[in-house]
Structure 1
Amino acid sequence: MLPILFLTLPFFAIIGLGYGAGRAGFFGAEATAALTRFVFYFALSAMILRFSATLSLGDVLDWSFLAAYVLATLAVYLVAMGVAGLRRRGLAEAAMEAQCAGIGNVGFLGLPLLAMLLGEAAIGFNMMVLAADLIVFSSLLVILVAIARDGRIRPQVLGAIALGLVRNPMIVSLAAGLAWAATGWPVPGPVEGFLVTLGAAATPGALFAIGASLAGRSAERPAVAGWLSFAKLVLHPAACAVTALLLFDVPPYAAAVMIACAALPVAGNVYMLAAHYGIAPQRVSASILVSTAASLATVTAVIALLAPLLP
């Protein structure tokens, strides 16, 4: 496990550096927001576009993989909602807690981290996880919140969900890359160089932005944050291991990437949804902080356990 720790430690050290810069006031909220936009719209998109331009749709669309991931995540989702119900939380709060338990930082942390640790072949499987999170579970959250507040789903809600997906630069860059790959043309050398150079900024930029964004968070409601972090870091990868390896017979490497994605801490966009809807933002913020801090140990342990599945 120690060699794996030495591999993961530099990534979390960059997160720690961003956190320290944020806490010291050297990297404020506006700077963090600007860096986040750069990584989200440009660097990560360049990485995804370059990779997907060499693939076909069949290379990134595996129905057994998606079924295993969605089933495992749904199981954790329902457990988290059940625990929230036992604490007498309403439907909207229960759904937001379930989002914390089941949706990891696959975009900002998973894409650069797992591409470096598991190889660029992990990006395609990582994108399937990200697509499932965005299309299935983020949409499910919006629908559950609409039901909790209005008692029904308005057509405007479904339109907003579709528009949000179309505008997501990660989805757009994946689709553009696959469209280019379908032509059979090689990526021109200057374009390849541009995408490689810009995409190289994704890993340090995303990790630093994660750390800087954590600087303004506080660990309020630590008991709930601890439970949600446990669900995300332990229950979610365990559920994926069961569905991928026992129920759907997903190939070993693909299963390893799925389980590693599931072991990632709570996604930052869950907080954006919580703040937007005014549903337990402090609870979500604390869950992001606690799970990210704990993930150095848990991600390292999970990747060490996955070693037999890796080529």
Structure 2
Amino acid sequence: MEGVLKGFFVVGMVLLAGYLLARYNVLGQQGTKVLSALSFTVGLPSLMFSMIVTRHITEVLSATGLISIVTAIACMAIFAAVGALRRWGTRRTVIGALTTGIVNSTNLGVPLSAYVLGSATYVTPIMLFQLALLTPVALTILDLADPKGHKLSVLKVLSTPFRNPVTVAAMLGILLSALDVKVPELVLAPVSLAAQMTVPLMLIIFGMSLHGLTLRGGTGEAAPTAVAVVLKSAVHPALAWALAAFVFHLDAFSTFVVTACAILPTGQNVVLYSIRYGVGQALAQSTAVITTVLSVPLLLGAALLFG
């Protein structure tokens, strides 16, 4: 239990730093946009490549990894169905779906996994799935969903993944990992160094985005936010627990690992994507804030239940 609180304290201090930067306008009006661009074009691609290329992609196929994938896809599919029925728009629905499926596996999952579960490797399958598979597909859809309604050429459709630094880094990492190519240390070292800025940078961006944010329904995002929060904080962990206990028949500790990973709140990279693409920012920010707050008692409850 002490480990859970410690993880939240570490993350909270960096979030607070970001909030104070925005509160006192230290980086100016364009600060969030500049940092988001830096993270999106340099930090995230570096993180994705360095993490994927140093691990075998089959790690995603473990039982815990498979459960994480199935539950994430299920929650995103439910949100997408609701979004389609309510006509929330393609890009807005994609951002909302990501808030239910992408967990904070890096910024919060790594420290909590290390402190509570004893090893940071428990979140590796989730990180690989989110970075190598889920994120590239989602960003491709965001790129293809032209808000002006112009007809897209076949060439533009086919080239979309290759014009996005995040998807390019993921695909290159997967290719080299699948071919078992050993990347020279001289090449990997600077990439890994650049990747190290991503976690604190994304936390700072998220903290800055909280300044001036209201969680009232006046933004027009009350309904999608409510759906996203219920799916992320209730349905997601409940599905993970049910699959682990009754379908895969995992032991108590493994069931706790799967459930705890599902309880992790919405990842800050979803906020980054919403800022980058200029859509669903209030939805992403509000869901991330609410699920982060809810994850504290939920994680403590899971620790007591399985402890």
TM-score computed with the length of structure 1 as normaliser: 0.69
Quote how far apart the aligned CAs of 1:204 are. 1.3
CA distance in 1, matches of 2:301, 2:168: 34
Give the corresponding residue for 1:35. Answer: 35
1:117 has 2:118 as partner: no
Asked if the contact 1:238/1:259 (under 8 Å) is kept, the reply is no
Q: Which digits, 9 at most, give the CA deviation of each residue in 1:252-308, with x for residues without a partner?
A: 769936862663227225635984xxxxx5xx4333333333334333345446669
- Equivalent residues in 2 for 1:171-250 (5 A)? 171-181=167-177, 182-185=179-182, 187-188=184-185, 190-215=186-211, 217-221=213-217, 223-224=222-223, 225-243=225-243, 245-247=245-247
Any gaps of 5 or more consecutive residues in structure 2?
114-118
**C-alpha separation between the residues in 1 aligned to 2:193 and 2:305?**
31
CA RMSD of aligned residues (A): 4.4
2:101 and 2:79 map into 1 onto residues whose CA distance is: 18
Q: Distance in 2 between matches of 1:54 and 1:101?
A: 29
- How far apart in 2 are the matches of 1:63 and 1:162? 31
Please say if residues 69 and 243 of structure 1, whose CA atoms lie closer than 8 Å, have aligned partners that are also in contact: no
The equivalent residue for 1:13 is: 13
Identity %: 15
1:247 CA drift (Å):
3.7
TM-score, structure 2 length as denominator? 0.70
Q: Whole-Å Cα distance in 1 between the matches of residues 262 and 189 of structure 2?
A: 28
- How far, CA to CA, are the matches of 1:173 and 1:244 in structure 2? 32
**Corresponding residue pairs, total:** 292
Counterpart of 1:300 in structure 2 is 296
Q: 1:1-311 counterparts in 2 under 5 A?
A: 1-60=1-60, 62=61, 68-69=67-68, 71-77=70-76, 79-80=78-79, 89-90=86-87, 92=89, 96=92, 99-100=95-96, 102-104=98-100, 106=102, 109-118=104-113, 119-121=119-121, 122-134=123-135, 156=153, 163-181=159-177, 182-185=179-182, 187-188=184-185, 190-215=186-211, 217-221=213-217, 223-224=222-223, 225-243=225-243, 245-247=245-247, 256=257, 260=261, 263-265=264-266, 267-268=270-271, 271-272=274-275, 275=278, 284-304=280-300
5+ long unaligned stretches in structure 1: 276-280
**Cα contact 1:226–1:287 (8 A) shared by 2:** no
TM-superposed deviation, 1:30: 1.8
Counterpart CA distance in 1 for 2:72 and 2:162 is 23
CA distance in 1, matches of 2:158, 2:248: 29
Task: Give CA-to-partner distance per residue, 1:79-116, whole Å, 9 cap, x none.
Answer: 5467668xx833638x8457525535848x53243233
CA shift for structure 1 position 185: 3.2
Higher mean C-alpha displacement, 265-274 vs 27-36: 265-274
